[in-house]
């Protein structure tokens, strides 16, 4: 059975022209979103991707809205670079 959260990460990467190399689900208390108001239903992932120019990027991706939870309508990315 495929986790719907993993589908979100894969879809986000493909829609933005990235090759998804790695994704790890992270707890709300980790990363740049830890101090932000965040819902339990907003999954946060640490990702590593390769862009179309071959450049590797790592960062954090948060899906959904605070009050509505899981969804594709809002995605926030914070790159480490």
Residue 59 lies in domain = 4-79
| pLDDT for residue 14 | 95
Q: Tell me the percentage of the chain whose pLDDT exceeds 90.
A: 43
DSSP the chain: ---HHHHHHHHHHHHTT-EEEEEEEE-TTSSTTTTS---TTS-EEEEEEE-TTS-EEEEEEEESBTTTBS-SS-EEEEE--
How far apart, in whole angstroms, are the C-alpha atoms of residue 45 and residue 27? 9
Q: Rounded to two decimals, what is the model's pTM?
A: 0.76
Number of domains in the chain: 1
Q: Which band of pLDDT confidence, cut at 50, 70 and 90, is reported for residue 32?
A: confident
């Amino acid at each position: 059975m495929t986790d719907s959260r993993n589908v979100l990460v894969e879809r986000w990467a493909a829609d933005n022209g990235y090759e998804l190399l790695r994704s790890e689900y992270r707890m709300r208390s980790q990363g740049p979103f830890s101090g932000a108001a965040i819902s339990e239903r907003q999954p946060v992932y640490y990702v590593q991707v390769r862009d179309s120019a071959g450049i590797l990027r790592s960062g954090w991706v948060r899906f959904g809205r605070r009050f509505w939870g899981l969804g594709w309508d809002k995605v926030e990315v914070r790159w480490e670079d």
